[in-house]
Amino acid sequence: MQSIVGTMVIAQEGRFQLLDRDGVGHQFLLHYGSAVEPDQLPPLLNRRVRVSYRSAVTAHIIGHAAVHIDLLED
Amino acid sequence: MEMHPRVLDHAVSDLDGLIADEAELTAGVRIRPGRSYGFFTDTTVCIGCKACEVACKEWNNLPADGIGLTGHSYDNTTALSADSWRHVKFIETGVRDDMAQPFQSGWLMMSDVCKHCHNAPCLEACPTGALFRTEFDTVVVQQDICNGCGYCVPACPFGVVDISLLDGKAHKCTLCYDRLKGGLEPACAKACPTDSIQFGELGELQERARRREAELHRRGVTNAYLYGAPGEAGATGGLEHLNAFFLLTAQPETYNLPRAPTRPADRVAPSLAAGIATVLGLAVAALSLFTRRA
Amino acid sequence: MTEQSAWDGRTYYDEPQLRPAPFNNALVGSYIFLAGLSGAAQLLATVVDSAHGPAAPPTVRRGRYLALAAPVLGTLCLILDLHTPRRFYNMLRLIKATSPMSLGSWGLVGFSVTSAVTASLQFAADRLRFSWLRSLARLTQIPAALTGAFMGTYTASLLSATSTPLWAAAPKSLAVRFASSAAASAAVALGLGERNDRRRRDLDSIAVAALAVELAATLASEHAECQAGIGDPSHSQTARPIAIPLVLLLTSLVLPGRLGRTLSAVGSLALLGGGLAMRIRVLHRGDQSARQPYRSLRFAQLDNLPRT
């Protein structure tokens, strides 16, 4: 499992977008096994988080399946 | 569409807040809960720009899927899916064969979407209640309830709703439920440059569509018809009508649409009755066999 | 309705028009088979118990234990088939009459509870020898048998209440097929462990009758599919998995002694294997019909609309 640090800029249903240090946006959906619920995403908007995810390239989607989200204290 | 007088209040682009009841300015409709809303898609003015696909992906933060070229005219999206809620279909009909008429010139373009059926089979099939009817008479999947049983998927007569294997839930067009709550029209309707996709109150849309159909017939486009309007193709078999309906100029099958879909829930009672009668019949036969021998 | 010309048979680049059910056919097929087997076993055990009075023979005991197969194994299959399994309990948020999956979830709960209670009472009665335990089991077996009857057949209405052409084309005959297959499976399953020769032959006779019904219903299904224009001529072998156990069991009934018992056992195993295979095959063929746009568009034509 990989992880990435960034600022959450969009949260829509169970999908969110992370903006990394280089200004690149990364698309995520919540993995079916993740304990994170969709309504837990909006409070994380504009906060820096670390997301652990599974890459979804093999699923023919440009996006990742987030398993765990850590809020980073800034 | 005439300009609403309030448009003059926003002559300069200011992004410091939401415009109250913005749909009044962009679509000529004030969005209020308790009324029936939907789409009327006039495919005769569609230019195949796919702004609707892009706007939908952008607003709903949907990941790109269906990557690659299909070779099916300009349609590289192929179908509606868990991550594609607008899909523009392209059919080239004899464009290069002969001297085609200027009108349409043999191109058929149609922006497909969830039909938000009046008697939505997906909603009737859903055992968890995740699929529900909103206050705007649209059909939405609640993402915090769906457990991915997948029963809505084969129920849909149009093949719209889909399960995402990554997040394990069902997804489809929400008719921009969050935008409606904020008084904004759906992203696809707002982005459509030719007003092929028209958002509004269903009754008003159906009247407008009938007028457009009559106008086209008068101008010689006799194969124009409404798909999904009450009593028309697509609204058959107990579905009543589709909140998202279309003006088409070729048979439904050309656009990969079913001509006469049916409401699956009508098959529940006859099936249960036949099955239970069989079981009980065999049980009675068994009982008579055992009691005679006892 | 605005008159349009009849369909010329062309599709949209041969792209599927419908979506197939995203079920794991092995898991769901197994559940459907187990639900039928367990439900019918409970019903059959109740029938035998009614016929032979309060002295419940071993047949009834086996039936009550066999009825636990679906609640235990089947439920596991269903939970594993969900794409978000940890939310399995959401199936019980509401009950919806238009959704056989909703009705079935509650049916499974009701059947599981009543069958578990009946089986527990049976277990206790065998060890503690209080007569009221047996009497209570005779009472609780009634709701268990009724929900069992539902379990044996609702899965067909679950498949028919979709837009998948093969399942929607012949809802009544599919229901009769599932119900009679369930009854036949339960009868031979109880017969496999049966020492009493006369009762085993009675159970085999019930299985033969049920198989005959299933055969007729299968032929009716194929006819209905052809009438609807979605018949698959390459697949005409559906009678064989029913005919083979039918012939074996029928032969075993007329042959005496050891040969008869062996044929009965072989026929029973063939029936059980065939029953499971039939469910999985129905699921697989249904998915195929959903993926083929020529068939799904042909099914959604005006001549296939129900007559009002």
Whole-number Å distance between alpha carbons of B101 and B218: 17
Tell me if B17 is assigned to some domain. no
Same-domain pairing of B192 and B283: no
- The CA–CA distances, whole Å, from B87 to A45, B66, B94, B103 equal 30, 11, 23, 23
Answer yes or no: do B98 and B233 share one domain: yes
Residue B235, in any domain of the structure: yes
Which residues of A make CB contacts under 8 Å with B? Answer: 10, 12-17, 27, 29-33, 37-39, 56, 59-63, 65
Query: Around Cβ A73, how many Cβ atoms within 10 Å?
Result: 6
DSSP letter for each residue of C45-81: HHHHHHHH-SS--HHHHHHHHHTTHIIIIIHHHHHHH
- Using CA atoms, how far apart are residues C231 and C243, in angstroms rounded to an integer? 21
Q: How far apart are CA B204 and CA B37, in angstroms?
A: 9
The answer to whether the CB atoms of B159 and C11 lie below 8 A apart is no
Torsional sign, CA C95, C96, C101, C107: positive
Question: Is B14 within the bounds of a domain?
Answer: no
What does the alpha-carbon distance between residue C228 and residue C85 come to, in Å, rounded to a whole number? 37
Mean pLDDT of chain B: 93
The CATH number of the domain holding residue A36 is 2.40.50.500
B129 inside 8 A of chain A by CB: no
Q: Is residue B129 part of a domain?
A: yes
Q: Are residues B131 and B222 in the same domain?
A: yes
Q: Which helix (H) or strand (E) holds C261?
A: helix C257-291
Provide the greatest CA pair distance for chain B: 94
What is the rounded average pLDDT of the residues B19-40?
A: 94
Tokens coding A61: 């989607």
DSSP assigned state of A55: E
Q: What is the pTM of this model?
A: 0.94
Chains touching chain C through at least 3 C-beta pairs below 8 angstroms are A, B
Spatial separation of the C-alpha atoms in residues C262 and C258, rounded to whole Å: 6
Q: Cα separation of B120 and C102, whole Å?
A: 16
CB atoms closer than 10 angstroms to residue B2: 6
User: Both B133 and B113 in a single domain?
Assistant: yes
In a domain, B15, yes or no: no
The SS3 call for residue A74 is coil
How many structural domains are present in chain A?
Answer: 1
Which of B167-181, B214-228, C14-28, C235-249 bottoms out in mean pLDDT, i.e. has the lowest?
C235-249
Query: Which CATH number is B75's domain given?
Result: 3.30.70.20
Contact flag A14-B167 (C-beta cutoff 8 Å): yes
pLDDT of residue C1: 47
CB neighbour list of residue C269: distance below 8 Å, 6 or more residues apart: C192
Domain of A53 in residue numbering reads as 2-71
Residue range(s) defining the domain that contains residue B224: 34-262
Residues from chain A that touch B62, judged by Cβ atoms under 8 A, are 15
Compute φ and ψ for A43, nearest 5 degrees: -65, -15
Same domain for B140 and B116: yes
Q: How far is Cα C214 from Cα C191, in angstroms, rounded to an integer?
A: 19
Q: Among partner residues B61, B64, B169, which is closest to A12 by beta-carbon distance?
A: B61
State whether B99 and B161 are in the same domain: yes
Q: Is residue B8 part of a domain?
A: no
Whether residue B231 is found in the same domain as residue B276: no
How far, in Å, CA of B146 to CA of B171, rounded? 10
Q: What is the pLDDT of residue C130?
A: 83
Number of domains in chain B: 2
Residues B106 and B144 in one domain: yes
Sign of CA dihedral B205, B211, B216, B217: positive
Per-residue pLDDT of chain C (308 residues; tens, 9 = 90+): 455 678 888 999 999 999 999 999 999 999 999 999 999 999 999 999 998 876 557 899 999 999 999 899 999 999 999 999 999 999 999 999 999 999 999 999 999 999 999 999 999 988 888 888 888 999 999 999 999 999 999 999 999 999 999 999 999 999 999 999 999 999 999 999 888 888 899 999 999 999 999 999 999 999 999 999 998 876 666 788 899 999 999 999 998 888 989 999 999 999 999 999 999 999 999 999 999 999 999 999 999 998 76
Same domain, B168 and B244: yes
Q: Which of B146, B290, B35, B265 is nearest to C84 (CA)?
A: B146
> Which of C163, C253, C292 best probes binding to B when mutated, by most B CB atoms within 10 angstroms?
C163
Chain B residue with minimum CA distance to C19: B159
The closest of B143, B167, B67 to A54, measured between CA atoms, is B167
Residue B196 belongs to some domain of the structure: yes
Contact map slice: C 29-48 vs B, CB within 8 A: 40, 43-44, 47-48
- Helix then strand then coil, in percent of chain A rounded to 5, is 10, 55, 35
Same domain as B217, residue B273: no
- Confidence band of B91 (pLDDT split at 50, 70, 90): very high
B173 lies in the same domain as B284: no
Residue B4 class from Cβ within 10 Å (0-12 exposed, 13-18 middle, 19+ buried)?
middle
Surface of C (72-111) touching A: CB under 8 A: 83-84, 86
Same domain, B97 and B136: yes
> Which residues lie closer than 8 Å to B281 by C-beta, 6 or more apart?
none
Residues of C in contact with B154 (CB under 8 A): 18-21, 162-164, 167, 286, 290
